[in-house]
Amino acid sequence: MKYCFGVDIGGTTVKMGLFSTEGELYEKWEIKTHTENEGKQVLPDIAASVRAKMEEKGISAEETAGVGVGVPAPVSEGIVKNSANIGWGYKNVKKEMEELLPGIRAEIGNDANVAALGEMWLGAGKGCSNMIMVTLGTGVGGGVICQGHVIAGANGAGGEIGHICVNYSETEKCGCGKTGCLEQYASATGIARLAKLRLAKLHGKTLLEGKNLSAKSVFDAVKKDDRVAIEIAEEFGAYLGHALANMAVIVDPEMIVIGGGVSNAGPALLPFIEKPFQEKAFFANKDTKIVLATLGNDAGICGAARLII
Ligand SMILES: [Zn+2]
């Protein structure tokens, strides 16, 4: 048994965890993400925090298998070409991290891919080796695991499920600059957008009237049997369920794991995805289980630690 660190870099905080290589999480903590000056301080801050923890626990470099880092950007061979969220342009993250922590190996991955690894290792996908994870947050992230390996792809952009085109006639633009991306309908912001569009042309009563429209307010109203909210959830579910059925044909997963803030709606969310999935799923993929993620915000640190093993 050795120790390893899992690091999940976000736009405002860096989440960190100390693990055993066998998957025990000993301790987790957070530091601030200093994005100013093109994020120059982000990696040195992480290295200092890792060193401080090693000192505190009396852990030597020899006892440390490595530091895994999840980054909100495509990652290819440890290199990030651009990460708007944390101010980075081109950065060889693996090399810099290893220079900052002599004698300790670093492995870098995209945050959504890393979250998928985390759920496979210690969460909802335990024991699975073929799995799709979709993270429904501000955006829609994704991670595809085939035979135990994350599909990172040639540009580190493998599994970017959020940018599958699901509506060819959309005119509004996605954050990526294209139109009709899944993210425009299935992220927290996407659900709020669907709600706003529907309420604008609505004649009739709904609990959503006058409410701050969000994924949470929509699913809260769904739980109270609000007809309009249910229709919004069905629209969201159709986009997501059909996209997942299309993905299942390529990946043939044992399981599809749904995570991110939207998944806080709980089990009530699943039928809205399962029904359209079943409508479009190829017969061989019909038994694919769709489940909620179980690690919550810890998926990132868990998966980052898993990069080391
Ligand atoms: Zn897009």
Cα 160 to averaged position of ligand 1 atoms, centre (Å)? 9
- The mean pLDDT value for 73-96 works out to 91
pLDDT at residue 175, rounded to an integer: 87
203 Cα–ligand 1 center, Å: 31
Do 42 and 68 lie in a common domain?
yes
Give distance in angstroms: CA of 178 to centre of ligand 1. Answer: 5
How much is the pLDDT for 219? 96
First to last CA, the chain: 11
Same domain, 96 and 242: no
CA of 240 to the centre of ligand 1 (A): 14
Mean model confidence pLDDT for the chain: 95
Together in a domain, 195 and 48: no
Report the separation in Å between the CA atom of 136 and the middle of ligand 1, taken as the mean of its atom positions: 14
Number of structural domains (the chain) is 2
**Boundary-marking domain end, from 62, 87, 118:** 118
Whether residue 218 is contained in a domain is answered as yes
Both 52 and 131 in one domain: the answer is no
- Its domain, for residue 193, covers 127-293
CA of 301 to the centre of ligand 1 (A): 26
The C-alpha atoms of residue 53 and residue 71 are separated, in whole angstroms, by 21
How many angstroms does the Cα of residue 274 sit away from the middle of ligand 1?
A: 23
Taking each continuous run of H as one helix and of E as one strand, the counts in the chain are 10, 13
- Answer whether residue 308 is part of any domain: no
Identify whether 305 is part of a domain. Answer: no
* CA gyration radius, the chain: 20
Ligand 1 centroid to Cα of residue 79, in Å, is: 22
Dist. CA 52–CA 54, nearest whole Å: 5
Is 301 a domain residue? Answer: no
Is residue 140 assigned to a domain? yes
Question: 233 C-alpha to center of ligand 1: Å?
Answer: 21
- Output the pLDDT for position 49: 98
Residue 287 makes CB contacts below 8 A (sequence gap 6+) with none
Centre of ligand 1 from the C-alpha of residue 117, in Å: 23
Q: Do residues 184 and 288 share a domain?
A: yes
For residues 158 and 35, membership in a common domain is answered with no
Q: Has residue 298 been placed in a domain?
A: no
- Domain assignment present for residue 95? The answer is yes
Q: Is 169 found in the same domain as 83?
A: no
Residues 111-169: pLDDT tens digits? Answer: 999 999 999 999 999 999 999 999 999 889 999 999 999 999 998 889 999 999 999 99
Q: Ligand 1: distance of its center to the CA of 15 in Å?
A: 26
Query: Could you tell me the CATH number of the domain that includes residue 14?
Result: 3.30.420.40
Same domain, 203 and 151: yes
Residues 144 and 254 placed together within one structural domain of the fold: yes
Q: pLDDT tens across 179-232, in order?
A: 999 999 999 999 999 999 999 988 778 999 888 999 999 999 999 999 999 999
Rounded to the nearest angstrom, the distance between the alpha carbon of 139 and the centre of ligand 1 is: 9
Q: Does residue 197 share a domain with residue 95? A: no
Sheet holding 106-110, edge to edge: 25-32, 13-20, 3-9, 64-71, 106-110
Domain stop point among 83, 118, 153: 118
304 located within any domain: no
> Does 163 share its domain with 228?
yes
